[in-house]
Amino acid sequence: MSKFLEMLGLDGIFGNQSKNSSRIFISYRRDDSRGDAGRLTDDLKKFFGANRTFRDIETIEPGMDFVDALNRAVSQCPVLLAIIGPNWLSAKDGEGRRRLDDSNDFIRLEIGTALTRNTRVIPVLVGGAAMPKAEQLPVEIQPLARRQAYELSDRRWEFDVDQLVRSLESILGPRLKKDSPATPWWKNKKKIAWVAAAGVIGIMASLYEQQPDQPALPTAPPPSAAVIRALNYTGLDAIGRYPTIVQVYSPG
């Protein structure tokens, strides 16, 4: 059955989705780039599938340890996108201290864990933000300053996202096609046609197998037991020249 679905290109609909296990970790500050992070997440789902992104607000279940969940998620994602907005570097806590200076700051933990595990960390600049310098960052995340960044601008958002997706394809594999399983299969006319055709063929084959054996066609009766006599006539041919033998066969 699985090979049949694979031949029809339907294994992605009804089969195993294990090849979509590699995910993209979206790291962002809610009070800095919440809107841009959400918009980018939605776009990446369209390109790579609904289950290929990790974003804390929609992925971490209630009651889970936030730090443990983030560390576990980062370790399972081959790429982390660090969304950097205008207030990412200077954001302060309720006591007026810079958040990045707190060893328990979740952005610092996410990026630090990813860098330690040699995860591909890609800075993504939004809202006109500039790339931070190494001396502005805590020691454990200073390598972030040496990573090639992508800038997403509102005026050319689609183009910039496409360039980012091209880079992600080298890590995650090719983007989904327009008629891929990311689109609900019941909305895919081509897939529906294949399923319908396969169903009709299956029904016809089943009906054919259930048909009773057809009776053999009647055969001609055996020849009579009468003796066939050959009457030989010796004489001349039709114009009276050469001798010939005319054989006449008739039942005895």
pLDDT for residue 98: 95
CATH code that applies to domain 16-183:
3.40.50.10140
Task: Answer whether residue 22 shows pLDDT above 90.
Answer: no
Average pLDDT over residues 86-112: 93
Contact 53, 23 (CB under 8 A): yes
Average pLDDT over residues 166-189: 73
pLDDT for residue 1: 42
**Could you read off the pLDDT of 199-233 as tens digits, one per residue?**
778 777 767 666 666 565 666 555 554 444 444 44
pLDDT for residue 149: 95
pLDDT for residue 165: 95
**Could you read off the pLDDT of 184-197 as tens digits, one per residue?**
555 566 666 667 77
pLDDT for residue 76: 85
pLDDT for residue 183: 53
Q: Where are the domains of the chain?
A: 16-183
pLDDT for residue 218: 61
User: pLDDT tier at 62 (50, 70, 90 boundaries)?
Assistant: confident
Q: Mean pLDDT, the chain, as a whole number?
A: 77
Token reading at 76 = 């399972």
pLDDT for residue 179: 52
What Å distances lie between residue 107 and 28, 45, 141, CA to CA? 7, 22, 10
Burial of 84 (0-12, 13-18, 19+ CB in 10 A): buried
Please give the Cα distance from 188 to 87 (Å, whole number). Answer: 43
